[in-house]
């Protein structure tokens, strides 16, 4: 059943987000700390476990892959709701304050990535 997949996804999402809320509360900040990350880890683990047990049929997986595929359309909708006007009209200080950090961080990325080089076997990006 498709709804089983959607419900499983919803379960992981809610548990992870709730954990993130409580972690934020615990360290005393007004923000969700890692909610999406916890939800993703839970989903990967649960999915793996259910798969091994043989509890996942095709339609259950379809319920999860639908949302997996809806990701880019939702990002497009999100882009359309950003406060772009504020960014464009706030002047040079804001443009610099927003882009200088990006440049700094990009500069250290190759360093960090080399520092922690993983074995070629665990890379599964798209080799070119």
Partner 1 sequence: MEILSKFLDKNGLIFTFLVVGVILYGSALLSKKLTNRKIPGSAIAIIVGLALAYLGGVYSGGQKGLADVPFFSGFGLMGGAMFRDFTVVATALGASLAVMRSTGWVGALSLLLGIVLSFLGGVLVALLWGYRDAVSLTTLGAGACTYIVGPVTGAAIGASSELIALSIAAGVVKTIVVTIGTPFIARSIGLNNPHTAMIFGGLMGTTSGVTAGLAATDPKLVPYGALTATFYTGLGCLLCPSALYLLMRMIF
> Which positions from 60 through 99 interact with partner 1, judged by CB under 8 A?
64-65, 67-68, 70-88, 90, 93-99
Write down the least CB distance from residue 59 to partner 1, Å. Answer: 15
Max CA separation in the chain (angstroms): 58
Q: Are 21 and 13 in contact (CB under 8 A)?
A: no
Cβ atoms of residues 60 and 1 within 8 Å: yes
In sequence order, which residues have a C-beta less than 8 Å from that of residue 4 and are 6 or more positions away?
Answer: 59, 60, 63
> Nearest distance from residue 47's CB to partner 1, in Å?
6
Closer to partner 1 by Cβ: residue 1 or 25: 25
Among 1, 3, 45, 62, interactor with partner 1 by CB under 8 A: 45
Tokens of 118: 């993983």
Positions in 13-42 near partner 1 (CB under 8 A):
13, 16-17, 20, 23-24, 27-37, 39-41
């Amino acid at each position: 059943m498709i709804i089983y997949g959607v419900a499983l996804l919803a379960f992981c999402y809610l548990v992870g987000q709730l954990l993130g809320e409580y972690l934020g509360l615990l360290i005393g900040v007004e923000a969700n700390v890692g909610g999406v990350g916890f939800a993703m880890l839970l989903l990967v683990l649960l999915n793996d476990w259910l798969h091994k047990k043989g509890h996942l049929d095709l339609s259950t997986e379809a319920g999860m892959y639908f949302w997996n595929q809806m990701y880019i359309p939702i990002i497009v909708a999100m882009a359309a709701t950003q406060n772009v006007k504020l960014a464009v009209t706030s002047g040079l200080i804001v443009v610099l304050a927003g882009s200088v950090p990006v440049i700094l961080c990009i500069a250290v990325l190759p360093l960090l990535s080399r520092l922690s080089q993983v074995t070629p076997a665990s890379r599964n990006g798209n080799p070119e």
